[in-house]
Amino acid sequence: MAAPPSTTPRKFLGLMSLPERNFVADALRTETVGGVILLIAAVAALIWANTLPHSYEAVSHHHFGPAALGLDLSVEHWAADGLLAVFFFVAGIELKRELVAGDLRDPKAALLPVAAAICGMAVPAVVYVLTNVAGGGSLDGWAVPTATDIAFALAVLAVIGTSLPSALRAFLLTLAVVDDLFAILIIAVFFTSSIDFAALGGALAGLVVFWLLLRKGVHGWYVYVPLALVIWALMYNSGIHATIAGVAMGLMLRCHPHEGEEHSPGEHIEHLVRPVSAGLAVPMFALFSAGVVVSGGAIHDVFTRPETLGVVLGLVVGKAVGIFGGTWLTARFTRASLSDDLEWADVAAVATLAGIGFTVSLLIGELAFQGDTGLTDEIKAAVLIGSFIAAVLATALLKIRNSKYRSLCAAEERDEDHDGIPDIYEEHKPAYHLRMAAIHEEKAAEHRRLAELAGGASEENPGPA
């Protein structure tokens, strides 16, 4: 007779596997450093644009590049279309790795973060649309508040000194990966007005060659980098946003190791390219996209114009409600229970933190209101203000539980047997307890020796009668 199905609820945000924890820790370490650089670049852009506006505009609008190839672009466009292709290349590798080796490969485990991410994109879009329907504004910017900027969110955590447990950080990273996927689809589907099929055919042919070279095991950056540049240029001239080329190439990389391999090619290349993306590509994009003139009148317009108000409300309210609501509903109907160490207030804090939208939100804002420079700048200001408000609210929520987070992080990092593996992953292994018994016995022997020495010294020096 078959055993009845288990009624034990599945744990959500519980202890991660050790390989996944190590990968996430490495990825988040790079993103955190990149996020701090990104924050510095954004502040520098604001200072530059508000103190030397003519200089900022002259540099960002300066054109260069081969006009015969259709690549005579401004510095701002090179940053948005060129450098961000590196960012989306890394996003493609992240997505592929999550699908074949990470949390997203298991449909049951993937359901909750995917549902949270989808709700976290849908609700901000609905908030934007309702705000603009009520205020008579343009609906073109509905996608602006849908994206989370993981680097900026981690930079905020680094600045405020809050340590999140690895499960919450991984949840935030998975949300951002799924966000990036849907942002890619939004850019490809909704912001492609006309297509040059000859250039698109050339880009697709280049991608096929890229894929075949990977499958044949051809090595050498001198092969792939020139080919990637050709694919990118053809994709740009096709009318489809050039960053799609970066995503496509990232998805083609193999992200599961073969026998004898310590790391897959995708993981190896991501390890090499991620610092370039986080430390150079994204900050340079921020430097030439976040420079908006901020004044009392501009801030007033952000909160009175429906398009900009919709962006602020979408990031601050829509993201928090969407992610928390999607998470709670999915957990409720799939009978997944929250980890014993965490509370739903922790999920609410992370959902609020996910309201920090920067890189992709700025990019979509430029695409949505292309040709209207004034409104584009106001949308950028709305993204910055909305992200700032979300960061302040998340800081307040996270600080309430900061002592709990510190204790959880300390437990995750504790390695009393000094074998390089956190004890929490070995507590069920007899070998671990034998090592700890030997360590404790050695300490006990040392204490006995010290006690004997102290006793002998007291006998030799009995003191005054």
Residue 4 has a pLDDT of 45
Q: State phi, psi for 443 to the nearest 5 degrees.
A: -65, -40
| Whole-number Å distance between alpha carbons of 158 and 276 | 20
The tokens for 156 are 């905020």
The residue assigned the tokens 């959902």 is 351
Distance in Å from the first CA to the final CA of the chain = 84
**pLDDT (tens digit, 9 = 90+) per residue, 42-64?**
899 999 999 998 999 999 999 99
Average pLDDT in the chain: 84
pLDDT at 179 over 50: yes
| Whole-number Å distance between alpha carbons of 245 and 365 | 20
Provide the whole-model pTM: 0.81
pLDDT at 314 over 50: yes
Query: Within 10 A of 431 (CB to CB), how many other CB atoms are there?
Result: 10
Burial of 448 per CB tally in 10 Å (0-12, 13-18, 19+): exposed
**pLDDT (tens digit, 9 = 90+) per residue, 245-303?**
999 999 999 888 887 787 888 888 988 898 898 889 989 988 988 888 877 777 888 89
- Of 4-13, 332-341, 416-425, the one with minimum mean pLDDT is 4-13
**pLDDT (tens digit, 9 = 90+) per residue, 412-426?**
777 777 777 776 667
- Which is nearest to 29 in space by CA: 278, 218, 265? 278
Query: Contact, 89 vs 277, CB < 8 A?
Result: yes
| Whole-number Å distance between alpha carbons of 327 and 45 | 36
